[in-house]
Amino acid sequence: MAVLERTLMGPGPSNPYPEATAALSAPMLGHLDPAFLAILDETCDRLRSAWQTANARTLPLSGTGSAGMEAAFVNLVGPGDVVVVGVNGLFGERMCEVARRCGAEVVRAEAPWGRPLDPADVVAAHPSPKLIAVVHAETSTGVENDVAAVAAGKGDALVLADCVTSLAGIPVDLDAWGVDVAYSGTQKCVGVAPGLAPFTLSDRAWEQRVARPQSWYLDLGLVGEYVGGQGGRKYHHTAPVSMIRSLHAGLGVVLDEGLPSVWARHAECGRLLHEGLQSLGLELWVDADHRLPELTTVLVPAGVDASKVRAQLLDRFSIEIGAGVGPHVDRMWRIGCMGHTARPANVKLLLAALAEVLER
Ligand SMILES: *Cc1c(COP(=O)(O)O)cnc(C)c1O
């Protein structure tokens, strides 16, 4: 079967930057080759730039974004620790489950799906939690949560931010905000194939780590050794060489373009998409104030078969958009526009295709 060129505008992988795709097919380097180690070091530096952090412990973890989530919790949370989790979508729910499996006492600070968390509720949810966890960009709903406001009110707690769909898409300024631990994924706004979890941890969080994380593979005391640290570089596991070269290349594109310009490009595409959808008579789920540019939830009009429209966009125009999640599966579409895909031409193509499929 022929491999088709698709424009991926779903909530999953976006089209990678071409440089990131090209790096995947570069000749293999050994995982201890000095040429590869130089690329690994530079990848960690580029991640620090993208996160806007000086954290020494900043690295690409082997595994998808969820491995970043798992690593954050297993290293910082042990039995009986109190963790406040902001829950207004699927990924907030997933953090609760991961924290519970670490033996945490989970305190939920909730907002309805499609609405932002109230930062005051989140910081007031418990007087002395060890960790407060929030999702910056809720991909399940298209809502942005105010991480900076939560971090500003954290008190003695550590703050964890899920930045899987925000890093390299909308402003993320970890050190200025006072975020202690954060993770991302490669396949969303970062514009690389899925497979790695950019991860960063402050010294303050490191000092409060659990003595013996329940995961050997994601124990940062061990995994940190392969990127080199205080004790030098040691074998822990074989670095996914090609994925790291691809991330290195993708971050290079992002930083060459410049973060402000990358953010402005996402914002502009979001604005075009939101205006265009509304002028087709479609209703957006999330209020303009908290609506993400990179992930847009659109209500399916009455009488329209949601999955049929998605299938037609894919078959006739090679454009993939996402279905709703959970209870909203048939009620809405989720349109991603992130990374390399976030170009006005792609937005216009989608809007024209949607107008034709919907006969509007
Ligand atoms: C996609 C996503 C994840 C999970 O990442 P995977 O790469 O699918 O493991 C976690 N959090 C958010 C907000 C996401 O969008």
Residue 231's pLDDT is: 64
Residue 54 and residue 178 in one domain: yes
pLDDT in tens, 57-113: 999 999 999 999 999 999 999 999 999 999 999 999 999 999 999 999 999 999 999
Instruction: Tell me the two tokens of residue 112.
Output: 């309805």
Q: What is the mean pLDDT of residues 332-343?
A: 97
Q: Which atom of ligand 1 is nearest to the CA of 165?
A: 15
Residues 211 and 76 in one domain: yes
Is 141 near ligand 1, meaning CB less than 6 Å away?
no
The predicted structure's pLDDT at residue 132: 98
Which ligand 1 atom is nearest residue 163's CA? Answer: 13
- Mapped onto helix, strand or coil, the DSSP state of residue 262 is helix
pLDDT for position 330: 87
Mean pLDDT of the chain: 96
CATH number of the domain enclosing 198: 3.40.640.10
The CB of 119 under 6 Å from ligand 1? The reply is no
Q: Within this chain, do residues 205 and 272 fall inside the same structural domain, yes or no?
A: no
Of all residues in the chain, the percent with pLDDT exceeding 70 is 98
Structure tokens at 290: 């908290």
Going by the DSSP 8-state scheme, the letter that residue 273 receives in this structure is H
Residue closest by Cα to atom 2 of ligand 1: 164
**Which pLDDT tens digit goes with each residue over 156-166?**
999 999 999 99
Mutate to test the pocket of ligand 1, among 164, 297, 337 (most ligand atoms within 8 A of CB): 164
Residues 330 and 188 reside in one and the same domain: no
Mean pLDDT on 27-45: 95
Residue of the CA atom closest to atom 15 of ligand 1: 139
204 vs 326, which has greater pLDDT? 204
pLDDT at 228: 75
pLDDT, position 230: 61
Whether residue 185 has its Cβ less than 6 Å from ligand 1: yes
Nearest Cα to Cα of residue 286 among 218, 332, 221, 345 = 332
Domain shared by 219 and 133, yes or no: yes
245 and 262 assigned to the same domain: no
Same domain, 316 and 168: no
Q: What is the pLDDT of residues 55-73, one digit of tens each?
A: 999 999 999 999 999 999 9
CA of 164 to the centre of ligand 1 (A): 6
Q: What's the whole-number mean pLDDT along residues 172-201?
A: 98
Residue closest to 71 by CA, chosen among 198, 189, 226, 244: 198
What are the b/e assignments for 175-194, b being 16+ CB within 10 Å? Answer: eebbbbbbbbbbbbbbbbbb
Q: What is the pLDDT of residues 10-24, one digit of tens each?
A: 999 999 999 999 999
Q: How remote is the CA of residue 159 from the centroid of ligand 1, in Å?
A: 18
**Contact partners, residue 3, CB within 8 Å, separation at least 6:** none
Nearest-CA residue for ligand 1 atom 12 is 164
Q: In terms of DSSP H, where are the helices of 29-130?
A: 34-51, 65-76, 90-101, 119-124
Token readout for 236 is: 């822990």
Q: How many angstroms separate the CA atoms of 348 and 249, rounded? A: 28
Radius of gyration of the chain (CA): 20
- Supply the pLDDT for residue 2: 56
217-243 pLDDT, tens digit per residue, is: 999 998 877 777 666 788 899 999 999
Question: Which residue, by CA, sits nearest to atom 6 of ligand 1?
Answer: 65
Report, as an integer, the average pLDDT of 144-149: 98
Residue that is last in its domain, among 233, 257, 281? 257
Pairing label, strands 82-87, 181-183 = unpaired
Q: Is 65 in the pocket of ligand 1 (CB under 6 A)?
A: yes
Domain of 158?
18-257
Regarding the beta carbon of 183 and ligand 1, being less than 6 Å apart is answered no
Q: Give yes or no for residue 294 CB within 6 A of ligand 1.
A: no
Same domain, 39 and 120: yes
Residues 162 and 281 in one domain: no
In total, how many domains does the chain have? 2
In angstroms, the CA 107 to CA 127 distance is 11
Considering 210, 228, 257, which residue would you say is the last residue of a domain?
A: 257
User: Do 82 and 210 fall into the same domain?
Assistant: yes
Q: Do 59 and 140 reside in the same domain of the chain?
A: yes
User: What is the C-alpha separation between 225 and 204, in angstroms, rounded?
Assistant: 19
Q: What is the CATH number of the domain that holds 276?
A: 3.90.1150.10
pLDDT digits (tens, 9 = 90+) for 231-279: 678 889 999 999 999 999 999 999 999 999 999 999 999 999 999 999 9
Claim to verify: residue 180 and residue 109 sit in the same structural domain: yes
User: Which of the listed residues 192, 223, 257 is the one where a domain comes to its end?
Assistant: 257
As a whole number of angstroms, the distance between CA 168 and CA 188 comes to: 9
